[in-house]
Structure 1
Amino acid sequence: MSDVSAAGFQFYDGIAPETDFDRLADGSGYRPLPDDWLVGVADIVDSTGHIAAGRYKTVNTVGAAVISAQINAAKDMAFPFVFGGDGAGFAFPRAHRAVAEDALARVIRWADEEFGFAMRGAVVPVGDIRSAALDVQVARYRPSAGVDYAMFAGGGLAWADKEMKAGRYRIEPAPAGAFPDLEGLSCRWTPMRARNGKILSILIVPRPGAAPGHVAGVAHRVLEITKHLDRGGHPVPAEGPGVGWPPEGLALEAHATHGSSSLFRRKAYLLAATFMAYVLFKTRWRAGTFDPSHYIRMTRDNADFRKFDDGLKMTIDCDTDTRQRIEAELQRGQAAGIVSYGLFEQDEAIMTCIVPSVSRDDHVHFIDGAAGGYTSAATAIRQAAAAASQA
């Protein structure tokens, strides 16, 4: 990475991470992206159809691959990104544009050739977003000592997503066979069954023109409702996620990381590697400096089960009474013209992971519902809007 490119990333390095998630609802700690930064967005075309066909874990893996490719392309530079279930958003300085666009183009090609998924991708200058009277503001939330996640506000990321779906700012696929570097992308943990009733995916977005303070009030009240749940509804059990062998996501990981070698050889390697890991996690035996008990605790604590992404997203382990109270609050907010919302229930949550190194604590873990999650919650919002327009 060039010195100029490295210097450009210092903006994000300068944002102090927030440890109180509630404070992020009212805009505390957010800073506007520099004018010369850009926003990248990507999603899977017809992800709802793939979900209906039972391919949601594949959808999640491809969505997370957008971030994995950008992390590897940025080397040791920290940058803001957010996982959306069937896609992702991220931001980067102008000096890094060619590298970021190449990584995104490679993911688009890989998704097609490995899984038959059509992906959209776009890169949008922040200046264009501000010309549309919106903004991109970012904060950093630290759920544990090992990792922090970017939070987005200002409406700009959502605007970039709409522009992408309209065919603007398009990134074309890389040439055939030009696959991304997805080293570290994995899907080895078993699905996490609800312990309180259902896994509830929640998506809350501001209505156009809604006062930020009113939107923050709705978010605060929803978060308050979840506080009586174990760890705020965290879907990962306190003892950590479960393991099985062979892991359900082994084939997906092989598709992500086989590179120029054969898929068969990569699967064989992963079968052996995951068996060794399975033994260590089951016995909790240490292997050199690797402590499986510590790694499992960090996996639990690092998981991103709630985030701000131009609105509040959560995937929580929720009982019926809590779900009803949340929905009643959201119905009031929607009736008042403050927010739109989507809810989706399922029996399990899943986790897709990016692990640069098992010897460090900065591995990231994206949580979503196992049967539709955020994508289905977003579909519920679109369906409600369509119904309202026809009424």
Structure 2
Amino acid sequence: MELDRDGFYGRIAPQADFAAMLSEDSFTPVPDDWLVGAADIVQSTAEIAAGRYKIVNMIGAAVIAAMANGMGARAFPFVFEGDGALFALPPEDADIARQALAALRRWAEEEFDISLRAALVPVADIRAAGLDLKVARFAPAQGVDYAMFSGGGLAWAEAQMKAGRYMVAPAPVGTHPDLTGLSCRWANLKSRNGLILSLVVRPVPGADPAGFRDVAAQVVDIAGHLSRAGHPVPLQGPRPRWHPETLDFEARAGGQDRPLWRRRLRLSIGHLVIATMMRLRLRLGRFDPAHYLARISLNADFRKFDDGLKMTLDCDPASRDRIEAVLHTGEEAGLIRYGLAEQEEALITCFVPSAMRDDHVHFVDGAAGGYTSAARSLEAGLSAPI
């Protein structure tokens, strides 16, 4: 996606230092007339418990894919939530968002029997509620960046959606979103250090913001001492592997121009060719598999700020204990609330508008619920891993 350099988001300079996201000076207020889009899966915990974690993650990433395809080359700030996504956009793009969200709701219900909530919330209403919405851009690698949010506005917008306000109704029966570029053709990422730790840390409303930032800084520092700061994706990239559930998802996401069985067959053949190229590092024209796989690792979104700190880390047990001790102390002090989830593997979900460019984005989550499980732990007032 290319930035509109004359627009609000395009004027925000990306920062390569993740620790800089701890400073409020890194964030810029989103204009009053903008909107926040939100979508998430109803009863996602039950879906994960039923073994549909890949479907949950793919539908969450589908929100971003549908919006990005609707916006064309124009970049916009978004954040992947595991079982959904949030984003912000100017008022002139409200119809694009409304159509994409409406189509996603209908498609998720028809194809997967999954209920998806969706809402569009005015930023002005967020500020009228006494909160704010600020955005920054973190660049994990040259040519790609992710939005970071602060101010409490995203969490408020999500809560409004869950309460049934600002809802976007489903599109008519048979409506299909444009999910071009959405894929998940990789094996799960096994921990190299003992466990995959997903964590969600949020400030307590009304507590000293500096206290939250101090707790978050300690967690980021501990993670910084892990190999590659806890990055779950190997430097050489993930291994190609296509789970049958993923095949079915991509077939259902790929449009309705041919019967489902033909879409599955075509995707299976295409994956076999691509997997062979990846394993043997066979170049095809300008496409270099080794370069592409390395960029997946560089580009992956395994840590973020969206009204709090979220990380999925390849972690050793001792570092896990140190992180949990810091979080427990912060919670006891009334500064933060937190949730943790442990699993043996991480998974990666990809949005690749073009494999010929380096701006493809890759969302990392824990393979046993990750962010969704950690957030449920937080919301239930639990502090122990689940």
TM-score category by the smaller chain?
over 0.9
Match of 2:64 among 67, 77, 89: 67
Counterpart in the other structure of 1:270? 267
Counterpart in the other structure of 2:197? 200
Q: Deviations over 1:256-290 (max 9, x none)?
A: 11333221111111111111111110110110000
Q: How far off its partner does 1:143 sit?
A: 0.2
Counterpart in the other structure of 1:25? 22
Alignment of 1:31-110 (within 5 A): 31-110=28-107
Q: How far off its partner does 1:249 sit?
A: 2.0
How many residues are aligned here? 382
Q: 1:276 is aligned with what amino acid?
A: V
**Could you tell me how far apart the structure 1 residues matched to 2:164 and 2:15 are?**
36
**Could you tell me how far apart the structure 1 residues matched to 2:297 and 2:200 are?**
22
Counterpart in the other structure of 1:138? 135
Q: Deviations over 1:300-332 (max 9, x none)?
A: 100000000110000000111000000000001
Q: Deviations over 1:102-121 (max 9, x none)?
A: 01110111110110000110
Q: How far off its partner does 1:64 sit?
A: 0.5
Distance 1:386 1:292, change over 3 A: closer
Contact 2:352/2:360, CA 8 A, preserved across alignment? yes
**Could you tell me how far apart the structure 2 residues matched to 1:152 and 1:384 are?**
23
Contact 2:199/2:312, CA 8 A, preserved across alignment? yes
Contact 2:154/2:307, CA 8 A, preserved across alignment? yes
Q: 2:229 is aligned with what amino acid?
A: G
Give the TM-score, by structure 2 length. 0.96
Alignment of 1:335-374 (within 5 A): 335-374=332-371
The DSSP-based 3-state class of the residue aligned with 2:178 is coil
**Could you tell me how far apart the structure 1 residues matched to 2:68 and 2:133 are?**
20
Q: How far off its partner does 1:246 sit?
A: 6.6
Counterpart in the other structure of 1:230? 227
Unaligned runs of 5+ in 1: 1-5
RMSD between aligned residues = 1.6
Kindly report structure 1 stretches of 4+ aligned residues shifted beyond 6 Å: 6-9
Q: 2:46 is aligned with what amino acid?
A: G
Give % identity: 55
Contact 2:340/2:383, CA 8 A, preserved across alignment? no
Contact 1:9/1:93, CA 8 A, preserved across alignment? no
Counterpart in the other structure of 1:209? 206
Q: 1:200 is aligned with what amino acid?
A: L
**Could you tell me how far apart the structure 1 residues matched to 2:286 and 2:46 are?**
44
Contact 2:204/2:336, CA 8 A, preserved across alignment? yes
Q: 1:254 is aligned with what amino acid?
A: A
Give the TM-score, by structure 1 length. 0.95
Contact 2:63/2:84, CA 8 A, preserved across alignment? yes
Contact 1:122/1:164, CA 8 A, preserved across alignment? yes
Contact 1:245/1:275, CA 8 A, preserved across alignment? no
The DSSP-based 3-state class of the residue aligned with 1:143 is strand
**Could you tell me how far apart the structure 2 residues matched to 1:69 and 1:246 are?**
22
2:124 is the alignment partner of 1:159? no
2:240 is the alignment partner of 1:243? yes
Q: How far off its partner does 1:253 sit?
A: 1.3
Contact 2:136/2:147, CA 8 A, preserved across alignment? yes
**Could you tell me how far apart the structure 1 residues matched to 2:322 and 2:190 are?**
22
